Amino acid sequence: MAVAQVRENGFQDRTKVLLGTVDDVPAVPPLDAATLFGVLHHVPGDEAKRTILCALAVCLKPGAPLILALRRDRVSVAQPSRLLS
């Protein structure tokens, strides 16, 4: 579905969709942004959630956004640098 929307909107030349675990996200080159939709509520425990967020944060360029969808009606933009401090 995400790939189809990327194509429909003409973003395929500048968007890379990764499907897998956080361990599959390459740290190089750093990412311009990352999204995490409908995932964290399935992860048990705050420490496991923090581990995922920190792993994504280190893959991002400095100042790049991490966009989280926690519920269908709520989207947040996190400052990844705050996750690492």
Query: Residue 72: which domain range?
Result: 18-84
Confirm whether 38 is domain-assigned.
yes
pLDDT at 83: 54
Q: Checking DSSP bridges between strand 34-37 and strand 74-78, what pairing results, if any?
A: unpaired
pLDDT at 79: 61
Confirm whether 8 is domain-assigned.
no
Confirm whether 39 is domain-assigned.
yes
pLDDT at 47: 92
pTM of this structure? 0.66
pLDDT at 18: 78
Confirm whether 29 is domain-assigned.
yes
The residues pairing with 31 across neighbouring beta strands, listed in sequence order, are 60
Comparing CA positions, the residue from 32, 29, 36, 27 lying closest to residue 70 is 36
- Residue in the structure block whose two tokens are 């750093």: 30
Confirm whether 30 is domain-assigned.
yes
Per-residue pLDDT tens listing for the chain (85 residues): 778 888 898 888 888 777 778 888 877 788 888 888 888 888 898 899 889 888 888 889 998 998 888 766 665 565 665 555 5
Confirm whether 13 is domain-assigned.
no
Confirm whether 73 is domain-assigned.
yes
How many separate domains does the chain show?
Answer: 1
